[in-house]
Structure 1
Amino acid sequence: MINFNVYAFLPAIDFLYIKLQGQDNSRDKLLSIRDNLSKLNEAQVLSELLTLDFMFYDYSNEQSEVWDIQLESFSSFYNRSEK
């Protein structure tokens, strides 16, 4: 059962899960957050989301392009990059 106060986070969690394909640490943590939604309040969910790996790093490739989660999934960025 999901805590009604955090139900609004489900679409964001699902969106991030898709966009973070290839970022296993962040995806695993998202699954953990989703599994524990019934035990978390809003502040705890936000805190957990803000500690995902992709929030702390800029991922760039050899063309100095920086991955933008809003534009493409990590796996798309990774697959079009050489390194």
Structure 2
Amino acid sequence: MRLSLIVSDTSVRRCLSRFDDLSGTILAGHHQPLQTWILCLYLMGLNLSTHQIAQELDLNKDDAQQMTCQLRMGIVEKKPEVIRLLAN
């Protein structure tokens, strides 16, 4: 049996599950392309409102709201623990 790898969207024959380049990330399961997610995160860093982000990315305001919430939750969830070093 010969295996071929497809980067974008692949169906796994054994378990019949689907995966893509966003599988296992906070972006998994959403219909927006990776470029849109990255631009959304960039615009969030510029302190644009969700309404402004929706306009800039030509998104429905509900989609922009969902994306910003998902990004905020994922960032907080994946935030590494801060280890304080004691000075001598």
Smaller-chain TM-score bracket: under 0.3
Larger relative contact order (CA 8 Å, sep ≥ 6): 1
TM-score with structure 1 length normalisation? Answer: 0.27
TM-score with structure 2 length normalisation? Answer: 0.26
Higher fraction of helix: 1
Higher fraction of strand: 2
